[in-house]
Structure 1
Amino acid sequence: MLHMELVLPSGERLPVPTLLHYSAEDPFAAVFVFYTGADHQVRWVLDRDMLAKGLRRPTGRGDVRLRPTGSGPDAELGLTLSSPHGRAQLAAPLRAIAQWLGRTYESVPSGQEAEGLDVDAELSRLLHGAA
């Protein structure tokens, strides 16, 4: 669990408890679950490698954009999420995201993501609508 902040247009910041999740069963995905109320959560799935790039330089296009800001212990990762319902600008301590992301690469090293995937089963699931 990580406390990200929603950055309002006024510059005010509101805390947003955020669960970061990674599973070797879906090794390309980094999942962020934002808890926005007592019974409400918003789930975003990001590309793990894009998240890694976003720790070093601005990256992303479309619905997800990342950019590092600051330096040292005050460095942050800026995360902009866009949907048909609106846009959210969030910030998180860059160091915390980098540490979590490092653990995902310990679990499934870069370049080995596809080794555990059953491509035929995934393709069949997608083509036949099975969950």
Structure 2
Amino acid sequence: MRHTVVERELELLLILSPEWSIPVPARLGYRSDDPYAVHITFHITSEQPVNWTFSRDLLVQGVFRPCGQGDVRVWPTRVEGRGVVLMALSSPDGDALLQAPAAQLSAWLERTLRAVPPGSEAERLGIDDALDHLLAQ
């Protein structure tokens, strides 16, 4: 089975306070051989980029309504008349609130949904084929 990679460079804003935010270059990544997950790599001022992986479904839902709990929460809002998606990320290293442009994020998510339509993710994992092979031995 051919694997598809859907990537997009996107500038997010790291919200430091209501008055202050800084741009953070990020790469959104999706791979059809890991169909339930999205990967976001943040290029901040540290030596190594910061990587986050979470549910594609969570991000898709978060474009339309608040969702998530715990380490990753996502919700839509408007800032100065523009649609944006906020992502609150928590880890032992700290918390971050990031703002993404809703139109660009949605366009990228749409490409991932065309690559692997919702409900067809399990077929991409090849679990059934592996299980059949194992049981045939």
The answer to whether the superposition gives a TM-score over 0.5 is: yes
Structure 2 counterpart of 1:74, from 82, 88, 93: 82
**Residues 43-90 of structure 1: per-residue CA shift (max 9 Å, x gap):** 001200111000000000000000100189711000000001110000
Q: Could you say which structure has the larger radius of gyration?
A: 2
Question: Which residue number corresponds to residue 127 of structure 1?
Answer: none
- Paired with 1:73 and 1:95, the residues of 2 have a C-alpha distance of 13
TM-score by length of 1: 0.86
Q: CA deviation at 1:118?
A: 2.7
Query: Per residue, is there more strand in 1 or in 2?
Result: 2
Query: Which 4+ stretches in 1 moved above 6 angstroms?
Result: 120-123
Is 1:8 matched with 2:33? no
Equivalent residue pairs, number: 123
TM-score (norm 2): 0.82
Structure 1's unaligned 5+ residue stretches are: 124-131
What are the within-5 Å matches in structure 2 for residues 14-93 of structure 1? Answer: 14-37=22-45, 39-70=47-78, 74-93=82-101
C-alpha displacement at 1:106, in angstroms? 0.7
Residues 98/72 of structure 1: CA separation in 2 closer, same or farther (3 Å cut): farther
**What are the ranges of 5 or more consecutive residues in structure 2 without an aligned counterpart?**
1-8, 132-137
Tell me how far 1:9 sits from its aligned partner.
Answer: 2.4
